[in-house]
Amino acid sequence: MHIKEFSRRFYIISLLFLISFVFVICRLIYTQFFHSHYLSAIADKQHSLYIELIPQRGIIYDSSLRPLAINIAADSLYAVPREIKDKGKVISLIQPILNADYGYLKDRLSRNKSFVWLARKITPQAAEKIKTLKIKGLGLIRENKRVYPNGYLAAHSIGFTGIDNQGLEGLEALYEKYLKGRAGWAFFLRDARQNRLNISQEMSPPEDGLDIVLTVDEVIQYIAERELDKCFNANNAKGASIVVLEPFTGKILALANRPAFDLNYASSATPDARRDRAICDLFEPGSVFKIVTASAAIEENKVKEDDKFFCENGSYRVANHTLHDHEPHDWLTFKEVIEQSSNIGTTKVAQILGPQVIYRYAKLFGFGEETAVDLPGEVKGMLKDSKFWSKTSIGAVPIGQEVGVNVLQLACATGAIANGGYLMKPFIVSRVQDKQQHVIRQANSVVIRRVISTDTAERIKIILKGAVEAGTGKLARIGKISAAGKTGTAQKLEPDGTYSHRRFVASFVGFAPAEDPLVVIAVVVDEPHPYYFGGVVAAPVFKNVAEEVVKYLKSKQLGENRMAL
């Protein structure tokens, strides 16, 4: 009885052992032949460390290869929460160094992870203090930090990057594909305690980003920003913009706005300060738009400079609207109409031409369309087709009402007069190059179209020179350097659609020297007070900038000629 029971148990146990043995053998075979790659990968992961090799972001230079955006090394602080036992003590030690929120640090260190960022790109002083603490579970990683040596200078054009060096605004964003480079990678061996041995198994080096060279000249940019800043503050303005353009090429030598912001602290700047007003904001140009009407009249051979117009002593009825001049005039020649900025005289000239002609020339000068500048965010403006004009439009559009433009468009349109009749495409990036200065992409001057004849351009130059010497732009006169230009004072629209009697846009656009222009300068000041006339507010900015810039460019040309010899 007992022997039979023992035999049955023995067979059962033997069978169980046999089944277990077969299962183990099958499992070993499966592991060896079917699961080996997975387990090898785990082993490799335990003893190999993958590191992404970050490329250097491309540098942004001015036209003379002075750096406007560079990279510096900066330490970033990380933590391994699983290795930190007394998290409260660690937070109390690092919080004053990082000047970070207690709740933020507590949240990061409470995570059950092997890696979390605590602070990115901290100051060298903070990094040194962290090192002296020697806290297990904290570490520093060296990264690249984008830095802008000149702070506010050309901020709206250059733009800025985020914490991971990705372009967010301006040229940093628009030229991201050139500037960012290509990341590399490397596998390093680790010991059983997961410490890096600095023995590389495989590596693919990073490719640094390409550099971009701007048409902007740092010296001219500084002059323009300094004078714009003075004007902005002295006139208690809401905003202000300036564009300095090379008329024969379309190169942007300077572009600035107020309010502005420091590129190194872009995240704390307001959206209003970051907005590139020179290309993003629309406004009615007012009397500076009379350049279009004057050019159309001469080009169409409808009016001559000495033709006289009765300016109705300052009050003229157009349909159901009464038009006024800022000063009453009786008889003025056509040249004097533009010099003295008579709304009534300009309207009478426009009535001779007709709506279709005014509209056609406004389009030729580039209004109502984008300039296609290589900057993000440009608005194309507003220009109604003549078939949609009302009965009063003939007394509004020719003097710069019912039209929406941006500052860059004004500069380009005036450049067409300065250079003899050609509308040029504006551009701000001269070339893209590698670290050995091999050119990858070169920008060239582009003629969009001929707007007016050379003869008409020369005649308009003389009229605009008269506007500076004897007309509304007297405060733009530059001593021994001749200048030509046009003032503008435009009423802003109130919410109910009527023109304001307390909010204005003051402007001046011109070029110097008048006979052989080196620069076109457009200045626009939004809501200045108590003074608001373009000839009082904007013209002095033109004068101060043009005087210094012309002297600088002539001395620069002289130096280049001497070097060539």
DSSP label at residue 425: P
Residue 287 annotated in active site: yes
Could you tell me if 381 and 400 are in contact, meaning their C-beta atoms sit under 8 angstroms apart?
Answer: no
> Could you tell me where the beta strands, DSSP code E, fall in 281-370?
308-310, 315-318, 321-324, 331-333
- Closest by Cα among 292, 252, 485 to 378: 252
Nearest to 408 by CA among 385, 384, 374: 374
CB atoms within 10 A of CB 436: 5
| Spatial distance between the Cα atoms of 211 and 438, rounded to a whole number of angstroms | 10
- What sign does the CA torsion over 323, 327, 328, 334 have? negative
Q: Which of 401, 400, 425 is nearest to 412 (CA)?
A: 425
Q: Locate 92 and state its tokens.
A: 């109390």
Burial (CB count within 10 angstroms: exposed 0-12, middle 13-18, buried 19+), residue 207: middle
Considering only CA atoms, which of 199, 197, 170, 203 is closest in space to residue 185?
Answer: 203
Q: Which of 287, 341, 393, 507 is flagged as catalytic?
A: 287
How many Å apart are CA 542 and CA 392, to the nearest integer? Answer: 33
Which whole-number Å values give the CA distances from 447 to 81, 128, 367, 422, 424, in the listed order?
Answer: 61, 56, 16, 7, 5
Measured between alpha carbons, how far is 49 from 108 in angstroms, rounded to an integer? 23
Residue numbers annotated as active site: 287
